[in-house]
Amino acid sequence: MAQGHSPTDTSGARRFDGDGPRPTSRDVARVAGVSQATVSLVFGDKWRGRVSEKTERAVRSAAQELGYRPNLAARSLRLGRTRTALLVVPALTNEFFAHVYTGAAAVAADHGFGVVVYPSPDVGTPAKDPFASASAALDGIIASSMATRALSRLRGAELPLVMIDSDPADRGAAAHVNLDIADGVRQVADHLLALGHRRFLHLASAVDAWTFDVRARSLREAVGAVPGTELRTVRSPLDVHRAHEAVAAALAGPDPVPTAIVCDGDVLAAGACKAVRRRGLRIPEHVSVTGFDDLALASALEPELTTVNLPAERLGERAMSALLAVLDGRAPTDGDLPVQLVARASTAPPHGP
């Protein structure tokens, strides 16, 4: 920002403290040392390619100093926009989706947008329109871990759609933002194989979604590439009690006890750990267990869970940025976000019961 300015500037612009007239875009222009048209470009999200990043920062800094807030309602009427995005997630109570929302909302706020969260638990069936008309209430949609066919009713007005953690081959979306799920599974498999594990049980999610298909395929490929390995699969809903039941049944069967249980999520891993202990086996001495997500639960388990950290907040940021780019006629950023194995005490070389 231009030097020498203060909340009480010689130009007459004063910081708004709740009393008196609100600062205007003209006041911001004076403090930032730019034209009023430049202020309009910045707060209309039309500054890229027209003014420098330095100027954009100066305008926003001056606005913050003065306590200036643009009239979003009036500008929305001029632009034909509501400046509202809808985030569709499978569950509101899941920690992962809460972090996705946090990231999306932060980027949205920086651009004068709001984010409305809408749960649609069944990823395979059509999501209902949460408004009288989505086209009248929204500028775009971000949907997590779903198929675009499930959003057909919401997309009746051809609203821009950004899909996250979803099949990139699905051409019904304007942009896809994904995590490198396949690499995360490979990291888990490589970790366990390096420890000497050869007998695996995959506790797979019963949810029919692209992200879980990728996990199953990547695990089969990684384990199958090593001679002498065995891989069994059992499925469970994303629930601790049901996961416990699924693993307990697998351990009680005639097949040899696996030395490693690879779970599609940390919640499933919690149920697997419970089943292993109730079988009279120890973790990781007898059976190693891994999760996926790196939720707070992973550190609360005993022993602490080896899992894959997913940058959920960064995913939400990237998704909102992609939607803004689509609305602005720009190309969204390409490339999957990297994930990272977090090795903890629930994995070790196999010793047998």
Cα 267–chain centre separation: 17
Answer yes or no: is 331 within a domain: yes
Number of domains into which the chain is organized? 3
Considering just the CA atoms, what is the radius of gyration of the chain in Å? 25
What pLDDT, on the 0 to 100 scale, is given for residue 13?
55
Percent with pLDDT over 70 in the chain: 82
Say yes or no: 1 and 30 in one domain. yes
Say yes or no: 128 and 117 in one domain. yes
What pLDDT, on the 0 to 100 scale, is given for residue 65?
87
Say yes or no: 318 and 299 in one domain. no
Examine the fold and report which residue of 39, 70, 101 is the final residue of a domain before the chain moves on. Answer: 70
**Residue 287 pLDDT class (50, 70, 90 cuts):** very high
Q: CA–CA separation, 20 vs 43, rounded Å?
A: 23
Beta bridge partners of 341: 308
Answer yes or no: is 341 within a domain: no
Answer yes or no: is 353 within a domain: no
**Residue 190 pLDDT class (50, 70, 90 cuts):** very high
> Is the confidence at residue 351, as pLDDT, over 60?
yes
What pLDDT, on the 0 to 100 scale, is given for residue 240?
97
Answer yes or no: is 349 within a domain: no
What pLDDT, on the 0 to 100 scale, is given for residue 134?
52
> Is the confidence at residue 288, as pLDDT, over 90?
yes
Say yes or no: 191 and 287 in one domain. yes
Which range of residues forms the domain containing residue 150? 82-178+312-336
Say yes or no: 101 and 143 in one domain. yes
What pLDDT, on the 0 to 100 scale, is given for residue 102?
96
What average pLDDT does this structure show over 204-212? 93
Q: Which residues contact 141 (CB under 8 A, 6 or more apart)?
A: 85, 86, 87, 88, 134, 151, 154, 155, 159, 160, 161, 162
Examine the fold and report which residue of 41, 70, 99 is the final residue of a domain before the chain moves on. Answer: 70
pLDDT digits (tens, 9 = 90+) for 35-83: 888 887 887 777 778 889 899 999 989 988 888 876 544 444 444 467 8
Beta bridge partners of 164: 144, 177
Say yes or no: 284 and 219 in one domain. yes
Say yes or no: 170 and 318 in one domain. yes
In this structure, of 96-105, 168-177, 276-285, 331-340, the range with the lowest mean pLDDT score is 168-177
> Is the confidence at residue 221, as pLDDT, over 50?
yes
Number of residues that this document lists for the chain: 353
Residues 282-321 as b/e (b if ≥16 CB within 10 A, e otherwise) read ebbebbbbbbbbbbebbeebeeebbbbbbbbbbbbbbbbb
What pLDDT, on the 0 to 100 scale, is given for residue 16?
53
More confidently predicted of 132 and 306: 306
The count of other CB atoms within 10 Å of the CB of residue 344 is 18
Examine the fold and report which residue of 70, 95, 130 is the final residue of a domain before the chain moves on. Answer: 70
- CATH for 5: 1.10.260.40
More confidently predicted of 76 and 131: 131
What pLDDT, on the 0 to 100 scale, is given for residue 228?
96
Answer yes or no: is 352 within a domain: no
> Is the confidence at residue 282, as pLDDT, over 70?
yes
CB distance 161 to 138 below 8 Å:
no
User: What token pair was written down for 313?
Assistant: 């907040």
Say yes or no: 317 and 174 in one domain. yes
Report the mean per-residue pLDDT for the chain: 86
pLDDT digits (tens, 9 = 90+) for 245-279: 999 999 998 999 999 999 999 999 999 999 999 99
Single-letter code of the amino acid located at 58:
A
What pLDDT, on the 0 to 100 scale, is given for residue 49?
80
Say yes or no: 196 and 306 in one domain. yes
More confidently predicted of 18 and 102: 102
Q: Which of 154, 164, 107, 109 is nearest to 130 (CA)?
A: 154
Answer yes or no: is 250 within a domain: yes
Beta bridge partners of 201: 232, 261
Sign of torsion over alpha carbons 329, 322, 88, 92? negative
> Is the confidence at residue 6, as pLDDT, over 80?
no
Strands 114-119 and 230-236: unpaired
Convert 79-133 into a string of H (helix), E (strand) and C (coil). HCCCCEEEEEECCCCCHHHHHHHHHHHHHHHHCCCEEEEEECCCCCCCCCCCCCC
- CATH for 103: 3.40.50.2300
Answer yes or no: is 221 within a domain: yes
Say yes or no: 10 and 64 in one domain. yes
What pLDDT, on the 0 to 100 scale, is given for residue 11?
45
Answer yes or no: is 222 within a domain: yes
Say yes or no: 174 and 319 in one domain. yes
Say yes or no: 159 and 222 in one domain. no
pLDDT digits (tens, 9 = 90+) for 135-170: 557 888 999 887 666 666 665 556 888 999 999 988
